[in-house]
Amino acid sequence: MKGLIRYIKSLFGKYETGYEYWVYTKDIKVPKYFKLTKIGTKKWNHKMGYWLRTGEFESDILIDKDFNLVDGYSSLKIAHLKNIDKVPVYFVD
């Protein structure tokens, strides 16, 4: 029942922290400071290797209520490169 209520709230743009939601990658806004930061080769190879082995992102994608990326840039970048249109995210305050 709680899952249904959470789903209905999400239809109205109300998201609870601590729960996984699926959103379109195109809806996530990436701040400039993420775009200007280069992901190190060693870290990138590790993150991509994990995704290739498991089919899951090693790091959670965290966004705020306005869909601004807070953390998980490498996971979002992998999703873009692999043409994944929906990703699991967690909302933070």
pLDDT tens per residue, range 12-70: 677 888 889 999 999 999 999 999 989 999 999 999 999 999 999 999 999 999 999 99
Given 3.90.1530, 3.40.50, 2.130.10, 3.30.1380, which CATH number is that of 2-91?
Answer: 3.90.1530
pTM of the entire predicted model: 0.85
Kindly list the strands in the beta sheet with 69-71, ordered across the sheet, starting from the edge strand earlier in the chain. Answer: 20-24, 86-91, 61-63, 69-71
Binning pLDDT at 50, 70 and 90, where does residue 2 land? low
- How many CA atoms lie within 13 Å of 20's alpha carbon, on the beta-carbon side? 6
For the chain, give every domain's residue range: 2-91
Q: Which of 2-11, 71-80, 83-92 has the lowest mean pLDDT?
A: 2-11
Using DSSP's 3-state secondary structure scheme, residue 16 falls into coil
